Amino acid sequence: MLLNQRSQLIRQLANQFGFDDCRIAKAQRLDDDARRLEAWLNKGYHGTMDYMSNHVEKRVNPSELIPGAKSVIVLMFNYFPETEQDEHAPHIAKYAYGQDYHVVIREKLNAFLAAIQHQFGNVQGRGFVDSAPVLERAWAQRSGMGWIGRNGMLIHPQKGSFFFLATLIVDLELEADDPIAHDFCGTCTKCIEACPTSAILPNKELLASQCISYFTIELKSQELPEELSTVSSDWVFGCDICQDVCPWNRFSRPHDHPELAPLNEILNFNIHDWMSLSEERFNEVFASSPLKRTKWKGMQRNLKLLPKV
């Protein structure tokens, strides 16, 4: 079978398993990205996320994860919701409206890999979704799925940026897609201007330790900086500001993934509903939600950011 026929079959399989786009990059060491990552870490922009400095070689060299890796299959999973939160609800990032995407996508990746092995024989591979040392956005850019915007998000020219990225590294040779030749952010700086904590730097670097998502999800301290309450814009889990203002997200369309259907509590709970929620009830309602990552205590801490509390 010719390489382009293999790649076409891979895309057809990806569609069957519910992925919204599939592109392919040649597996090779990401030398430029390795230098950028090292410089970013040396500046301390990752804050307390020490895991970012672990397994650096695995992050930039797919052969460290799959010996003999030949191709990186990049997959998109749209999460843009049809219904957004009530205007009085404490703000939660759209990606967290439904079930934990790690679980949802990992199951699809495993089934996708099994289908590839059934089709092509003894193929070695591993699927990754966000929680492993893989630079998904770098691979997505190389595969032609989009370009990395000023806010650090991958932007797809027809779908915007409200989607998850997953990768499947395999030792199967495939025909790679061409990267997009230009960065279509142009002179637009809307995301920089809109960021209330100035976490988006002009040179396409993210000062992650100043991002609202970092404070409300990644930071594990019992208290948040007092000054954050004046700029948090009612966000209590993650933040979508830089994506909401991005002109390319006018192309975002609601997903059709039932697993990501929004929880009623996320859409409609007001501040007092959240504050009166017991830990037991929180664990019950959000057992399959990304919100379990910050836990009940973390959400109670984050709610203190709101001026009405």
Share of the chain above pLDDT 90, in %: 85
Going by their DSSP bridges, the two strands 235-237 and 91-92 should be labelled as: parallel
| Contact between residue 185 and residue 149 where contact means Cβ atoms under 8 Å apart | yes
Q: Which amino acid is at 195?
A: C
Complete DSSP assignment for 252-309: ------GGGPPPHHHHH--HHHHHT--HHHHHHHTTTSGGGGTHHHHHHHHHTTSTT-
Q: Which amino acid is at 242?
A: C
Identify the pLDDT of residue 73: 98
Strands 147-148 and 71-78, bridge-based pairing: unpaired
- The strand pairing partners of 266, in sequence order, are none
Kindly give the confidence (pLDDT) of every residue in the chain, 309 residues in length, as a single tens digit, with 9 standing for 90 and above: 788 899 999 999 999 999 999 999 999 999 999 999 999 999 999 999 988 888 889 999 999 999 999 999 999 999 999 999 998 899 999 999 999 999 999 999 999 999 999 999 999 999 999 878 899 999 999 999 999 999 999 999 999 999 999 999 999 999 999 999 889 999 999 999 999 999 999 888 999 999 999 999 999 988 898 889 888 889 999 999 999 999 999 999 999 999 999 999 999 999 999 999 999 999 999 999 999 999 999 999 999 988 754
pLDDT at 308: 57
Task: Tell me the CA distances in angstroms from 301 to 35, 49, 223, 298, one per residue in order.
Answer: 36, 19, 7, 5
Residue 165's pLDDT is what? Answer: 98
Angstrom distance (rounded) from CA 88 to CA 39: 41
Look at residue 148 in the predicted model and tell me its pLDDT: 96
Tell me the per-residue pLDDT of 100-138, one tens digit each, with 9 for 90 and over: 999 999 999 999 999 999 999 999 999 999 878 899 999
Give residue 51's pLDDT.
86
**Catalytic residue (choose from 21, 33, 100, 130):** 130
Using the structure block, give the residue that is written with the tokens 């957004």. 84
The reply to whether 50 belongs to the active site is no
- Tally Cβ neighbours within 10 Å of residue 221: 9
Helical spans, DSSP H, in 86-125:
101-120
pLDDT at 229: 86
Q: How far apart are CA 16 and CA 3, in angstroms?
A: 20
pLDDT for the residue 53: 84
